[in-house]
Copies of this chain bind each other. A is one copy, B any other.
């Protein structure tokens, strides 16, 4: 797994400098790099397309941007950090006084050397983000040359998706947003973990089909939903991955329903892990789980996080950089995710074929077999509750035993005549 951590970190480092937004070449370049990792299909949806309550906006591209002082020195330089330009800033090339410029400068007074991240998607505007320290170098009386070499034109919204077909057509959705520029945890971490998860899943046979979506936040998820309404009933489970590369313990945010199978599975896995993991209820603030859990969509989609958006100082600042994330956390996120998926893959409902009294385990070699230990109790629980209305997770919850133990017991019983998977 250590190698996977390195690979994920490396992919993040490769993607970090690209200036992403909700449309444009930054998204395209990001997806192109991902296609080198997995067989992603790229979709281009034209500006002006109606997607539910929204319209795909004009495409934004940017080549350069700077503020120069009268001596021609670049005080703020887009090429150094893509965060320096407010995302979706319209083009401008003008000399102006500090007084005129000031309303277009955004800083973070509480952290004088950090640059904030700002967007202006649906209102025509322009601006620069810079550190307080940079701002201190400006002079009241001086004039500045301002340049944003950007364009806002009819174009496309771009996203990528990819399916790992399973034995069932029913799907598990993994969704990650790709609209943030130089922010590592939010959300290159989610993208990188999703890529490795995809590779893990393709290396084996799965029960469910896994759909991976890499799309711009909000408008991207809405676009995908609008274009794929017919397949939504197939989605039985889903997760939004976001901010999962930092040092915080895992936080799982439940779906709107609150007790979907994905909710119970994730909570179960966290229950048997140490390290201060946390479960929070659904709320309509956050990432694309907002869209998936909207009242007309209602997909059972939870959200996996480590640091929770809006609650850590580095959130939406230049401090969410490559140093803010680490290989160990990325690896741990991938492992946790894999355990949750493994649980859901195995969460069958079985039928006890000898339901009257306990069956004679002894003559099937299952009675206190060496090393059976706790498995004996787990077997009895599986037999007792496999009446067709309890899944293995139901049984694990009631038995207060780890799912893995219940699953192992069911496996041992299923090779005899005692236990059969309930046909759907």
Residues of A in contact with B (beta carbons under 8 Å apart)? 51-54, 122-123, 218, 221-222, 225-226, 229, 256, 283-285, 290-291, 293-297, 352, 354-360, 362-363, 377, 380-381, 383-387, 399
Q: Which residues of B contact A385 (CB under 8 A)?
A: 295
Q: Which among B52, B294, B358 is the interface contact of A290 at CB below 8 angstroms?
A: B358
Instruction: List 16 A-B residue pairs with CB atoms under 8 Å apart, sorted by A's residue number.
Output: A51-B357, A53-B356, A54-B360, A122-B360, A122-B362, A222-B358, A225-B356, A229-B356, A283-B399, A284-B380, A285-B380, A290-B380, A294-B356, A294-B384, A296-B356, A296-B357
Tell whether, in the assembled complex, residue A383 and residue B284 are in contact, meaning their CB atoms are under 8 Å apart.
Answer: yes
Q: Which residues of B contact A291 (CB under 8 A)?
A: 357-358
Shortest CB–CB separation between residue A217 and chain B, in angstroms? 11
> A355 to B229, alpha carbons, bound, how many Å?
13
Tell whether, in the assembled complex, residue B284 and residue A225 are in contact, meaning their CB atoms are under 8 Å apart.
Answer: no
Q: Which residues of B contact A295 (CB under 8 A)?
A: 352, 355, 383-387
Tell whether, in the assembled complex, residue A225 and residue B363 are in contact, meaning their CB atoms are under 8 Å apart.
Answer: no
Tell whether, in the assembled complex, residue B285 and residue A53 are in contact, meaning their CB atoms are under 8 Å apart.
Answer: no
Shortest CB–CB separation between residue A280 and chain B, in angstroms? 12
- Which 7 pairs of residues, A with B, have the shortest CB-CB distance? A296-B355, A284-B380, A296-B356, A295-B387, A53-B359, A222-B357, A295-B355
Shortest CB–CB separation between residue A418 and chain B, in angstroms? 8
Known: A52-B356, A52-B359. 12 other contacts (CB 8 A): A53-B359, A122-B360, A225-B356, A229-B356, A256-B384, A284-B384, A285-B377, A291-B358, A294-B383, A295-B352, A295-B383, A296-B354
Shortest CB–CB separation between residue A254 and chain B, in angstroms? 12
> A256 to B362, alpha carbons, bound, how many Å?
24
Q: Which among B229, B363, B384 is the interface contact of A122 at CB below 8 angstroms?
A: B363
Q: Which residues of B contact A377 (CB under 8 A)?
A: 283-285
Q: Which residues of B contact A221 (CB under 8 A)?
A: 357
Q: Which residues of B contact A386 (CB under 8 A)?
A: 295
Q: Which residues of B contact A381 (CB under 8 A)?
A: 283-284
Tell whether, in the assembled complex, residue A354 and residue B285 are in contact, meaning their CB atoms are under 8 Å apart.
Answer: no
